[in-house]
């Protein structure tokens, strides 16, 4: 998609008082958002998204001027990416132990089995036991005790090695 097409989309957004526009075309995704009365912001990314989109101001972009390329990703894969996440299956409150005076279900460095309970998520006064679902060693506990968690939020990282 060329800059002229993007400018035409921005003009249509202004004429029709639209605040957001998103389109995918030939492996390229463009998302344009503007606040009322503000300058539109254009985010352009190739699919699949490997790095954050490049954001440019439509007013500052002149014809024939391309945005600066995004920096290259580091070649080394972080160790954490090899760890298996334990994610929250529901929205609720995270608890590391069955009661305030009880020992935590797991601690960093502890070996767990697939059926090991690693925490409890309380939702609507119901205590839901969350299992490791993998064998390994607990490497990180990412949530503080008694904190609110969201669906799909990573709670614990386990090294399956």
pLDDT score of 55: 52
Query: What architecture (CATH level 2) is domain 81-159?
Result: Beta Barrel (2.40)
Tokens of residue 97, six digits: 């132990």
Contact present, 101 and 131 (Cβ < 8 Å) = no
- The pLDDT tens digits of the residues spanning 3-15 come to 777 777 777 777 7
Under the banding of pLDDT at 50, 70 and 90, the label for residue 61 is: very low
Domain boundaries defined on the chain: 3-57, 81-159
- The pLDDT tens digits of the residues spanning 102-150 come to 999 999 999 999 999 999 999 988 999 999 999 999 999 999 999 999 9
Q: How far apart are CA 142 and CA 161, in angstroms?
A: 20
- The pLDDT tens digits of the residues spanning 47-58 come to 554 445 555 554
Task: With residue 10 as reference, give the H or E element that holds it.
Answer: helix 3-15
Contact present, 153 and 159 (Cβ < 8 Å) = no
Q: Is residue 83 exposed (0-12), middle (13-18) or buried (19+ Cβ within 10 Å)?
A: buried
132-159 exposure pattern, b = at least 16 Cβ within 10 A, e = fewer: bebebbbbebebeeeeebeeebebbbbe
pLDDT score of 151: 92
* 67 pLDDT higher than 60: no
Average pLDDT, the chain: 78
Angstrom distances, CA of residue 21 to CA of 4, 35, 103, 114, 150: 16, 12, 51, 44, 27
* 35 pLDDT higher than 80: no
- The pLDDT tens digits of the residues spanning 137-155 come to 999 999 999 999 999 999 9
Tokens of residue 88, six digits: 């929250």
User: What pTM, to 2 d.p., does this model score?
Assistant: 0.52
Contact present, 132 and 119 (Cβ < 8 Å) = no
């Amino acid at each position: 998609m060329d800059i002229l097409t993007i400018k035409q989309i921005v003009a249509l957004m202004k004429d029709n008082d639209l605040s957001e526009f998103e389109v995918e075309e030939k492996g390229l995704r463009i998302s344009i958002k503007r606040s009322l009365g503000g300058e539109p912001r254009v985010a352009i990314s190739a699919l699949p998204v490997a790095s954050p989109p490049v954001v440019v101001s439509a007013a500052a972009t002149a014809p024939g001027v391309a945005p600066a390329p995004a920096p290259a990703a580091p070649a080394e894969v972080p160790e954490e990416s090899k760890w298996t996440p334990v994610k929250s299956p529901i929205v609720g409150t995270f608890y590391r132990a069955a009661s305030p005076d009880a020992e935590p279900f797991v601690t960093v460095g502890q070996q767990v089995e697939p059926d090991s309970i690693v925490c409890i998520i309380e939702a609507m006064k119901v205590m839901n036991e969350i299992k490791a679902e993998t064998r390994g060693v607990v490497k990180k506990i990412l949530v503080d005790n008694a904190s609110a968690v969201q669906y799909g939020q990573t709670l614990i990282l386990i090294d399956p090695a």
